[in-house]
Every structure is written in structure tokens, then in C-alpha cells.
A and B are shown apart, each in its own frame.
Chain A
Amino acid sequence: MIRFGQSSLRALFFKLAILAVVDAFAIQLSITLGTRIGAALGIAIAVFTIIVNIVFLDERLYPWRWISPALAGMFLLVVYPMAYSVTVAFTNRGDGHTLTKQQVLGQWEATYFTPDNAEIYKAYIFARPVADPQQSDFRFWLVDPDGKTFIASSDVTGLQAVPANDTTYGARDSKDVPNALGEFVRITPQRYSTRLAGLTIQNPPHLIKLTKLLLLDQAFQAQTQEHVYVYDSAKNEVTDQQTNKVYREERGNFVTGTGADREILVPGFEAYIGFDNLLRVVLDANVRDPFWRIFAWTVVFAVSTVVTQFALGLLFALVLNSPDLPLRPLWRSLLIIPYAVPFWLGAEVWRGLLNPSYGPINLMLKNLIGISPQWFSDPGLAKLMILFVNMYLGFSYMMLISLGALQSIPHDIYEAAVIDGANDIQRFRFMTLPLILVAVGPLLIASFAFNFNNFTIIELLNNGGPPMSAASVAGHTDILLSYTYRLAFSGAQGADYGFAAAVGMFIFVIVATLTFLNFRFTGALEKVAENG
């Protein structure tokens, strides 16, 4: 039996110190994120922190100590976003519903209208100089259109008229505005515009609000205002004071009337809509019909990509591994270059090279054999083109891992085979290939999973085109993820994150299942078990 960690006192102190730092940070993180994003996240972080502590204090959980830093990162940055997306899938978050209900109610509360016969003032701002600027309070010097002047403040009801010949406030500037109101001094108002706009001067029966910053005058326009909406939290209803219409809540909107008279208050807000998004994937014909076609192509794309990349990579690896080949380092260096060139650059270049009307490749083909393949508009050729470019981008990686695998195949096996009289092809078919496949199997599966979601290549090369039909947003080369993206961001209401998340869940389940089956099929999981 292996003995787990041994601890000297110094090591213990060291460990505890680190743990304490981590904990202090985690506590803060838990509180801040918990209050701002959601209690669930805060609690989850706290629970995770406790688990980590237990892991580090309990000798029996020693192996987890090595893993927990990676798990912590994975939890916060992979598992949490996943969980978050799952919750979003049950909401209508998206265009028209991006704000929270609270934010929307806040907007309505701050919506005012100007009643008939409203008074309009020019307001100059004065503040008491205090050490902490956050604490400063304000006085307003109001001038009405007739030139009558008033002093007002947000804590005192009513306006205090100042007679024209008043001298209480000392020197005045060219516009006849005092430089100070007692201990309140005149300030440049623009830096405080939002806080000032939030203040209300009570002047029964009306309110006076600052409605506009007058930059040239270094003052505000102040106006009589009234609330447009009143929210009744008990009934969860909003009343429009101007029209007296009463709005009720419905799926993230406040609405009034029914049928043709139905009116919606804009903006709406995020609301839970249950399984609607998930059901839409299954029930909406516009979504569902292309879904399975795209699914099939996604699988074909991912599998063919891996196969073509691997086949070409392996071919080069076999050649490079041959002792007869002169200048091996040179060829290897050249063949690595596609992997070193960022794929977005590679994709852009190939897109230009394959341009059907003016790209060099088509011009050459036209001159030589008189054909000009429509790489971007013919569904079959577009698929071939994408596989070809993707093969270009990925074969070097496959070559590298195959080279690695080839080098580590024990040579006594070959020697035994030579003695048995196996020829080259037999040796490759029955020895090299299986050995390599076993070696690189997990990497091939990882590559499959990566390509299953290889959104970037699809977007960069042809945006999923050519279109399947004018009636749908789907294209012949769209894979599930790019299709999701298109659905989510080009719906009738623009972006629809809720729906995107729902399709994302489907994709996740599908690709996770496929990956899992792959493992079963190739026996990679059993191998783990064996080793373990």
C-alpha cells in the first residue's frame, strides 16, 4: 500500500497558509458572486470550498488534493457556464427580453411625462464642499422664463422665491447667478448628471426634475414632471397614468387588451417560459426539418475530418519515419507548417484561392481542363471543399502524433514479423496500424469531439452556405453549432439566447453520447480501468 503524504510541521504550516489564502479569496468570491449573480452560485462556491478544505485536511482524500485545483477551475469556468446555460434554456432571454423585471420596473419608475402647462426652469447647481464627494448634497438655483428666481433642494418641499433685488447671496456672474448660496458653491454640473437627474424637487402637486443638461449654460433644464407608470406590486399590474390602461404580466411582457387590441409595453424582460424552447426544437417544422439533415452532415463532417486528417498525417508520418528518406528534418519542418499557421489565416487564404470566378485555382483548372468547380454554391462541392481545407489545417497535427506513436512501437515486434515473413502491407495492416490506433485513439476521439463543434471553420469558409432553401436559415454545410448560432441570432426578434441554449443542450447531449460510445467502442475506457 502506498503511503500518502507525510507532513512535517513546516509543511503543515505552509499548507494551512495557502489553504487560508484560498479560503479567504473563495469566501469573498462566494459572497460577491452569490449576491450579484445568483445565490446558487454563491452557495455552490462555498460548498466547493468546504469540500476542498476537507480534501486537504483529511488524509484519506489525499489523491484529490492533486486534482482539486484543476477541478476548481473546471467547476467555475466550465460547469457553472453549463449550468447557467441550462437555466437560460428555460427563459425567453434574447432580444426584447434582455433586462430583468426589476431593471424594467426601474426604467418605468424613472419614466416621466411633462403635463400640460408645465413650468420650465433653468437650474444652476450648487454643492457643499465636503471631504467625501459621495456625501455632497446639492442646492438648485432655478430661473423661470420670466426671470423669476427660486432656491430649491431635494430635501425641502416647495420652492423658495428669491426677490429680484435680493443681495443675500453676494456677488453674481454675468447671467445674474450667484457664485455661492451660503456654504454651497457653484459647481460644473456635467460630472454629476446622473446623480442630479435622480433627485426630485417636491413642489406639490407636481414634481420638478432635471430633464436636460445645458452644456453651454453649465446648467440644467428643470421641468414639472409626473410619473407615467405606477406599479402595483400586490396585483403585479402597471397602470399608465396618461391613458389609464392597466397592464398585466405575460411571459416577460406587460400587456393590455386581447386579440387585435393587444398592446405590449416595451421593453420586455427575462421570464421563465418552461419547456417552450426545448419543445420548439422538436415541434417547430422550420427548426426540426433541417435539424436531422444537419445532424447527419455534422457527424459525416466530424468523422471524415478525422479520417482524412489522420490518413494524410499517417501517410506522411510513415514516409518521414523511413530511414531511406533523405533530408528528413527538412520535410518534417515543411509539413509542420500548416499546424503552425493559425487556422483562421489558413481558412481565409483558401477561401480566396478557391473563389469560383477569380481564384487562381479555378482559373488554372479552367485553362487546363476547362472546368470551374463551384466550391461555394454547389452543396456537394462545398462539403468537399470544407473537408479539404480542414484536412489541410489538421493533417500536420495528426502527422505529429502519428510520428510519436510510430517511434514508440517496439522494434522487436517488427523483427519478429520479418522472421515470420510478413510483407510491408501485412506489417502495416496487422501491426503498425492497430498499434498506432490504440496509441492515438483518445486523441482521435478528442479531435472528433472538437470538430463536431468546429464552428469557426464553418463560419469562416462559407458561413454554412450554400443555403438549403430560401425558406430556412440553414445551409448545406452548416453543422449543428453553426445552425444554432444562426437560429439564435437571426430570428425574427434578433438574438434569442434562450433558444440557443436549448439547442446547445441538445448538441451537448448528442456529442457527449457519441463521445462516450466512441470510448466504449474503441475500448479506451476499459483501458483506463485496466491501468487503474
Chain B
Amino acid sequence: MKSIFKITLFLAAVALMAVLSVSNHIATSVVTAATADASAATVAPTVTPTPLPSVEGTLTIWVNPERQAIIEAAGKDFSAKYNVPVRVQTMNFGDIRTNFNIAAPAGNGPDIIAGANDWIGELYSNGLLATVDLADKVKSFDPVAVQAFTYDGKTVGVPYQVEAVAMFYNKDLVPTPPTTWDETQAVATKLQADKKADQGFAFTVTGELYGHYGLLTSYGGGVFGRDAQGGYDAKQVIMDNAGSIQAATELDKLVKAGVLKDGVTYDVAKDLFLKGRLAMWVNGPWELDNIRKSGINFGIAVIPAGTEKAHPFVGVQGFMVSKLSKNALLAQAFVSEFLATDDTMLKLYQAQFGVPAWLPTRTKVTNPDIDAFSASIANGDPLPGIPAMASVWTLSNNALNLVYQQKAAPDAAMKDASASLRDLIAKAK
């Protein structure tokens, strides 16, 4: 008897709570809708037609912290002009890609991400990138930059900045920059022997392909061969061709000569250069500001040549639109119509120094440093945007590190890495 009473009471309570919670749920959604309307109304309508309350339409953009301020400012301009709220979320550069890959398929991604052109292969083959129609504006972009954001014949991003590493050198230690690796070794060895510098020369990050690619290509090496259209061909791994091996041997020579050292991490190299204890440093435009502030008497030269000119990697920064965006056409209009204008591109340049991909801006700015980096870019190879890049980085970094650490012969290291890479690419097909 008692238990029946208990169970009835209980069921009644459950039913009541279920009803309450469901109606509460509806109530909340109404409230949310209402507040959304209210917030939309506070944004003053600036266009002639009567704006109806917002239904969809808040642009969400993911950027790395360094770009937050610029994009937020651009977003404010856009909101003011077109009555669309823009939300900027920041996360680490690399996290943007990782998080986007998880969030977008789950329907929770942003509308737009800021990123590098080497992501496009992975993101596009995941079905996450929408194509972008640059229309006539394509003529105003550096063709290399547009090419870098082209995958499978489709444009999948709006470039805004082009970057490549060049060689910073301390003019007080190195009056004229060396133009070949042999000269570099001689200059560096002498500086170190005379105790004028702790370190004569350093790549961007010890053992990372990105900074060393110029060395590889200066002997005719590289990572991938090209197909008929001039794009990279994942089937042709050339990390162990004669040029690449010669380059690795040269690297080995530099390590043995005591010019290159293991453990020269980015912050070690930076500290040394800024104190005038590192004479030559292969690095990109992002460090210009710090170097200028330090008061070092510096110059910028192209990366030394081997048997031919060095072709550094050219990375292109740009904006990509999510294919799963809930504001697809709006997001595309934002990147292709609003960002790709003289005004916005100039502001992007002013906020963060770099070689503009937008030619009208590039011609407008007169800056010797821009010219110096442009020279490096002119020789450059675009960063490959093919999905296999993830393994390229890991394996090539392993190979280079083993050379630095003197744990593997240069030719064996390059051959091992290449064989493994070919194997992985073949299996993925």
C-alpha cells in the first residue's frame, strides 16, 4: 500500500517536472530570441531599407591573438556599415586549424578563419572550405598569393599578406652579407674565432624545415616536384634527390665546423641577435619590430646561394570561409568585398607589418624592408598546401635534427625520411 502511494506520488512529480522543464525550455528560447532582437535593434540601422529583426547573421571569425585588434576593428567597421554584428574569437594560430577541424563538422565552427595557405589542402579535402569568388579583384592580388590559395583549381581564400624568410645580418659584424654558403661559413667561423660573436649564423629554428627550405632549394633540392600546371605533386617526393642530399651534406659541414649548433632555439637565437652576439639570422618580417627597437644596425639580404639561388618558402596569410557557415554568402561577401578593398587592406598593413598581397597597397607603401623581403618572396616557392604536409614537417624535422645532432649521416637521414613519406602517401590513397 505504502509503495503504491510512493510510486504514484513520484510519477506525478516527474510528469510535473517534465512539463515545467519543457515549458521552461520554450520560455528560454523565446527570451533568447527577444534579447537577440533587442541587441540587433541597438545597432543603429545605417542602410535605407527597413531592417527586419536579425534572424541569422552574426559573423564569427577565428584569429590568432596578434591579429585580434585588426580584425576587431575591421569587424566594427563592417558592423557599422552593414548592420551585421561581428564576433572575433582568438586562439593560438595552430589551434585555429585543429579546432576548426573538430568544430566545423559538428556544426559549431566559425564563419571565417584567418590562417595560412598550407592548411587549405587538409581543410578543403575535409569538405570544410567554401570557394571564394574574387571576380575582377583577382587582378589586384599578387598572383603568387592567389595561386597559394588555389586548391584543385578553386580559390578557397582571400590572401592579405605574403611572407618569406630572408637573412637579417648585423652590419657592425658583417659589413657585406655573404652570398654563398661557403662565404657564410667563412664569415661565421671567423667571427666566432675572433670572439666577436657567440654564433655566426643561425636558421629560424634549429632543425625545422621551414627555415631550412632555402638551403635545400639552393642546391636544387626541395620537398615535392611539380606537375604540369606548376602545382606540387605529392607523388614526387624530392627530399632525397641529389640536390636535397647535397644540401643536407652542406648542413652537416656547417654543424661540424661549429657554425650551426643544436639547441639554438628560437628564443636563444633571438636573444643573441638582439644583443649583437649572433651575426646572421634567417628569419621573417615578424621580428622586424623587435630588431628595430633593439637598436642593432641591421640589414636584410636574400638567403645565400648554393649551386643556384635559394628559394625560401612563401607563406601566404589569408581568410577562409567555412563551407558549413550559417552565413555562407555573407561571409564570402565579407572576405571578398569588404576585406579586399584598398581601405581595409591598408589598415591591415598598418596594424601588422608584412608584405601586402594586395598590390595597390604594396605599391603605395615605400619601405626598404618591404622591398628587401619582396626580393626574397620573388625567389620563393609557395608553401605546399597538400594534406601530406603534416607528415612532411614531422619527418623532415626529424631528418634535419638528426643531422644537427650528428646522429645520422645526411644522405641516410634524407633518404629515410623520403622513403617513409612516400610510403605514407601511397598508403593514404
Contacts and interface: CB of A to CB of B under 8 A. Distances in A.
Q: Do chains A and B touch in the complex (CB under 8 A)?
A: yes
Interface of A: 12-13, 16-17, 19-21, 23-25, 27-28, 53, 57, 95-100, 103-104, 107, 127, 129, 133-134, 136, 173, 179, 185-188, 190-197, 210-216, 218, 220, 266-268, 286, 352, 355-359, 374, 376-378, 465-467, 469-473, 486, 489-495
B13 A134 contact: no
A466 B428 CA distance: 26
B20 to A, nearest CB: 7
21 contacts: A20-B13, A25-B21, A136-B52, A187-B50, A190-B84, A190-B330, A190-B333, A191-B51, A212-B332, A213-B329, A213-B332, A267-B125, A268-B127, A286-B423, A357-B264, A376-B262, A471-B395, A492-B424, A492-B427, A492-B428, A494-B390
Contacts of B82: 188, 190, 215
B330 A376 contact: no
A266 B153 CA distance: 13
Contact of A194 (B3, B18, B327): B327
B56 interface: yes
A212 B133 contact: yes
A132 to B, nearest CB: 9
Interface stretch (B219-227, B283-291, B412-420): B412-420
A213 B333 contact: yes
A212 B101 contact: no
Contacts of B231: none
Given A28-B21, A469-B402, A193 B394 contact: no
A53 B419 CA distance: 60
B27 to A, nearest CB: 14
A471 B402 CA distance: 11
B49 A218 contact: yes
Nearest to A32: B25
A398 to B, nearest CB: 31
Interface stretch (B184-192, B308-316, B356-364, B403-411): B403-411
B404 A187 contact: no
B337 interface: yes
Contacts of A472: 398, 420
Contact of B51 (A17, A98, A188, A494): A188
A95 B122 contact: yes
Interface string B128-170: 1000010000000000000000001000000000000000000
A344 B25 CA distance: 41
Contact of A491 (B198, B263, B424): B424
Given A179-B49, A191-B51, A191-B84, A99 B6 contact: no
Contacts of A220: 329
A523 B382 CA distance: 62
B402 A96 contact: no
B17 A21 contact: yes
Closest 9 CB pairs of A and B: A267-B127, A24-B17, A191-B57, A20-B13, A492-B424, A467-B398, A470-B399, A377-B405, A213-B333
B407 to A, nearest CB: 7
A56 B248 CA distance: 71
Contacts of B427: 492
A491 B262 contact: no
Interface string B39-51: 0000001011111
B212 interface: no
Which of B47, B49, B262, B391: most chain A CB closer than 10 A?
B49
Nearest to A53: B10
B330 A193 contact: yes
Nearest to B19: A24
B126 A471 contact: no
B262 A356 contact: yes
A420 B83 CA distance: 89
Residue from A185, A356, A377 having most chain B Cβ neighbours under 10 A: A377
A6 B83 CA distance: 63
A138 B243 CA distance: 63
Contact of B10 (A16, A134, A193, A215): A16
Interface string B192-235: 00000010000000000000000000000000000000000000
A220 B17 CA distance: 48
A33 B83 CA distance: 35
B358 to A, nearest CB: 17
Contacts of A493: 122, 387-388, 390, 428
A186 B54 contact: no
A357 B416 contact: no
Given A129-B52, A286-B420, A95 B387 contact: yes
B87 interface: no
A212 B423 CA distance: 43
B9 A470 contact: no
Residue from A98, A133, A495 having most chain B Cβ neighbours under 10 A: A98
A124 B416 CA distance: 60
A486 B394 contact: yes
A494 B122 contact: yes
Contact of A377 (B404, B419, B423, B425): B404
B75 to A, nearest CB: 14
Contacts of B395: 470-471, 473
A175 to B, nearest CB: 11
Contacts of A374: 262-263, 405
Interface in B355-378: none
Given A188-B45, A356-B263, 9 more contacts: A28-B18, A96-B387, A191-B84, A213-B332, A213-B333, A267-B127, A357-B262, A470-B417, A493-B428
B52 A98 contact: no
B1 interface: no
Nearest to A13: B9
A473 B412 CA distance: 16
Contacts of A467: 397-398, 401-402
B268 A355 contact: yes
A466 B407 contact: yes
B337 A216 contact: yes
A127 B369 CA distance: 53
Nearest to B334: A215
A28 B25 contact: yes
A122 to B, nearest CB: 14
A466 B402 contact: yes
Contact of A133 (B52, B101, B417): B52
Contact of B401 (A28, A133, A465): A465
Nearest to B264: A357
Contacts of A25: 21
A31 to B, nearest CB: 10
Contact of A20 (B17, B52, B268, B323): B17
Interface in B96-123: 98, 101, 104-105, 122
B126 A187 contact: no
B266 to A, nearest CB: 12
A350 B131 CA distance: 46
A98 B329 contact: no
A469 B398 contact: yes
Contacts of B261: 356-357
B14 A197 contact: no
B329 A194 contact: yes
A138 to B, nearest CB: 11
A16 B217 CA distance: 75
A469 B152 CA distance: 34
